[in-house]
Structure 1
Amino acid sequence: MDDLWLGAPPAQATFVFLLPNTPKLPSDANKAYLEVPNVAELVALNGNHWRKIFTIMAKLTAEDAAKWRYHRDNSLFNNIAITFSVDQLVDYKGGLFIVGKTFEDRLPVNGEPVYGGGAQLAHVSLPRVWCPYLDYRQFPNSLIEALRAYILE
């Protein structure tokens, strides 16, 4: 599954999230499904943990911060992608969220620290963002708001 790419193709993706763990996919998932995954179905297959991941992605990337729920449920994968391998990023030039510490050996952290209150922080050197795992304990709303100022403003 290292070559798994979910969501917008590299040429269309505004942001890619490089994640350390893959979700379960429907048994009948085909190329069309992988390009436009069904968020509700993935949450049903993988549980609340993946709902939180998609929610944080939506809060970070929604054009209108107040409409993140709609974005998560209806348009997240129109211009967002998820991959699970650095090797998948060879030709990708857009915004990249490097999630967690798994990929630090291949993509060392650099950039300006962005604090979200408390100990939570990310590092930004656009187009790359090194950030905590997409979980509310590690990635609170205050960090989401701080990062939005860097990536969307």
Structure 2
Amino acid sequence: MLRPDYLGASRPRLILYLPHRPDGLMQLLDAPTAQVLVTANSNHWRKIVTLLAKIGSPVADDWRRFRDEDLFRQTALCFAPRLSGIPTWHWIGGRDNLQRFEGLHHRARPFADSPDVSIDPDKRLLLTPYPDYRQLSNALVNHIRSALDSCGFYGN
């Protein structure tokens, strides 16, 4: 059986690349929702979709509604170690995950106060630690949102 590499919008504003797939992925393909994904998996996936919503939501304070209603209409998860050909923002979560992307050339510049987070506006590439609350605090999420906003992410 083929293992799908992609879950979410066909034209997402943001794709989060992860090294592993959630359980029940085949059942999610037709109508993905954060609730179904979390129910079929663990708290670990709740953290991932929450952080994706906090960063991807057009309105910062609306992330809960965005997660529950619009997450997979406007964002996607990708499990393949290559950037999709979709013209969008690409978020690679985790240093080990980034190493899977052989030949990925970028000029991502690290944040001065958070060197584990980098952005390459030309390639529309966001590099962060693995999406977990311990590594991506609310303060760091706000900093990432500010950097993406300055690149026009939320204005498109």
Please give the TM-score of this superposition, normalised by the length of structure 2.
0.82
CA distance in 2, matches of 1:63, 1:152: 10
Amino acid across the alignment from 1:67: D
Higher relative contact order (CA 8 A, sep 6+): 1
Deviations 1:67-94 (A, max 9, x none): 10010111101110110113461x2221
Determine if contact 1:39/1:73 at 8 Å carries over to the other structure.
Answer: yes
Identity of aligned residues (%): 29
CA distance in 2, matches of 1:109, 1:19: 18
CA shift, 1:108, in A, is 5.8
Q: 1:80 to 1:36 in 2, by over 3 A?
A: farther
Structure 2 equivalent of residue 46 of structure 1: 41
Please give the TM-score of this superposition, normalised by the length of structure 1.
0.83
**DSSP 3-state at the match of 1:98:** strand
CA shift, 1:121, in A, is 3.1
> 2:14 aligned with 1:15, yes or no?
yes
Amino acid across the alignment from 1:40: Q
Determine if contact 1:8/1:35 at 8 Å carries over to the other structure.
Answer: no
CA distance in 2, matches of 1:18, 1:26: 15
Q: 1:3 to 1:26 in 2, by over 3 A?
A: closer
Number of positions where the alignment pairs a residue of Structure 1 with one of Structure 2: 144
Find the partner of 1:94 among 79, 88, 92: 88
Q: Which runs of 5+ in 1 are unaligned?
A: none
CA distance in 2, matches of 1:35, 1:120: 38
Find the partner of 1:139 among 132, 136, 140: 136
Q: 1:120 to 1:52 in 2, by over 3 A?
A: farther
> 2:71 aligned with 1:72, yes or no?
no
CA distance in 2, matches of 1:26, 1:124: 29
Structure 1 equivalent of residue 58 of structure 2: 63
CA shift, 1:38, in A, is 1.9
CA distance in 1, matches of 2:115, 2:82: 28
Q: 1:54 to 1:86 in 2, by over 3 A?
A: same
Q: 1:111 to 1:87 in 2, by over 3 A?
A: closer
